[in-house]
């Protein structure tokens, strides 16, 4: 007990000396300590602007949102233009390789050497062959399943369970003549860009996808 008392007395003496000798340094130290505690207790946040509605482009926002939510972050996703279709009750997503030359075509069946090949399809072929997008969609879904990757429906459900805020762009709804009944009941808000921008401004991470 004497040792503890002596340590406390020494600490008080040291603090008093700091105040009398250099109060600015003592204040800065205390301020820095309080800011560190505040930062450690603060919940990180992420805002996503989701603009694309194809099967391949549906993965990045839902993967990022579900991962951030699993880490305990506050996540808000603003679905606008074609991205708004990702909030519909019935998803009918397809791959659109046309105009995306970096996208490889994978064979989800056959020997391993065949599955490892990245098939580069010219845009002329993708644009002129009837039913090409249907075939590409089928191949991607099969590849996703073979690799054990979650489907878009499963990832979306994970986001909802993790309380990710799903925000719909009302302007897009009006533009395309959709109805709110076409979308998930879990949609948090129906707002315009002006209402979402403050959320994006204050978020620690803001991404446009």
pLDDT for residue 208 is more than 50:
yes
Yes or no: say if 62 and 155 are a contact pair by the CB < 8 Å rule. Answer: yes
| pLDDT for res 133 | 72
Distance in angstroms between the alpha carbons of the first and the last residue of the chain: 61
How far is 149 from 129, CA to CA, in rounded Å? 29
Predicted TM-score (pTM) of the model is 0.72
User: 149: closest CA among 94, 108, 205?
Assistant: 108
What rounded mean pLDDT belongs to the chain?
80
CA distances from 45 to 62, 67, 120, 160, 174 (A): 15, 12, 38, 16, 29
| pLDDT for res 9 | 53
Q: What are 178-190's pLDDT values in tens digits? A: 999 999 999 999 9
Quick one: the chain helix, strand, coil %, rounded to 5?
55, 15, 30
| pLDDT for res 130 | 60
Q: What are 16-35's pLDDT values in tens digits? A: 555 556 767 766 776 676 66
């Amino acid at each position: 007990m004497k040792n503890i008392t002596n340590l406390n007395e020494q600490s008080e003496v040291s603090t008093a000396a700091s105040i009398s000798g250099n109060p600015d340094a003592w204040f800065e130290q205390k301020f820095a300590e309080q800011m560190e505690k505040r930062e450690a207790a603060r919940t990180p946040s992420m805002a996503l602007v989701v603009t694309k509605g194809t099967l391949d482009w549906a993965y990045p926002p839902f993967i990022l949102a579900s991962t951030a939510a699993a880490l305990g972050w506050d996540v808000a996703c603003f679905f606008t233009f074609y991205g708004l279709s990702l909030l519909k009750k019935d998803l009918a997503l397809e791959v659109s390789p046309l105009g995306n030359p970096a996208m490889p075509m994978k064979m989800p069946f056959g020997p391993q050497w065949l599955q490892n090949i990245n098939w580069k399809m010219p845009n002329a072929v993708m644009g002129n062959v009837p039913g090409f997008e249907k075939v590409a969609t089928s191949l991607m879904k099969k590849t996703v399943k073979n690799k054990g990757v979650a489907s878009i429906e499963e990832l979306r459900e994970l986001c909802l369970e993790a309380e990710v805020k799903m925000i719909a762009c009302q302007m897009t709804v009006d533009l395309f003549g959709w109805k709110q009944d076409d979308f998930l009941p879990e949609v948090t808000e129906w707002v315009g860009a002006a209402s979402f921008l403050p959320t994006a401004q204050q978020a620690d991470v803001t991404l446009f996808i």
